[in-house]
Amino acid sequence: MRIEFYGVLQEAAGREALELSIDTPSRVAHILEELGEQIPALQSHLPRIACAVGDEVIPRSEMVSGDAPLVLLPPVSGG
């Protein structure tokens, strides 16, 4: 499954995106746990991120198929 990072998460992950090997469909919360284990630098950010697929923010309880990227959004600072 493709995972995309934005903002400070790109720095923490050291990349803009990655392919995560994980069974699908899978719950968002489970995907985040896997990510945190693979990239420890993301761990401290995970409690405050939001997740999106396309133009929808989705809850961590949601199952995602992996057909579209799971997008990780850190706290926002526009304006």
Partner 1 sequence: MEHITAQVLDAELLKRETENPACGALIVFEGTVRNHHRGRQVERMEYTAYKPLAERVLQELEEETKRRFGVAECRIVHRIGELAIGEASVVIVVRSAHRGDAFDAAEWAIDTLKQRVPIWKNDFYADGTRAYQDGVPLSACGSDEHDSASPQSGRDARPEHSLRNQD
- Binding positions for partner 1, rule: CB under 8 A: 6-8, 11, 28, 48-52, 54-60, 62, 71, 73-79
What's the min distance (Å) between Cβ of 68 and partner 1?
10
In the complex, minimum distance from the CB of residue 59 to partner 1, in angstroms, rounded to a whole number:
4
d(CA 30, CA 21): 12
CB neighbour class for 31 (10 Å; exposed up to 12, middle 13-18, buried from 19): buried
Q: Give residue 23's identity as a one-letter amino acid code.
A: D
Query: Quick one: 66 or 74, whose CB is closer to partner 1?
Result: 74
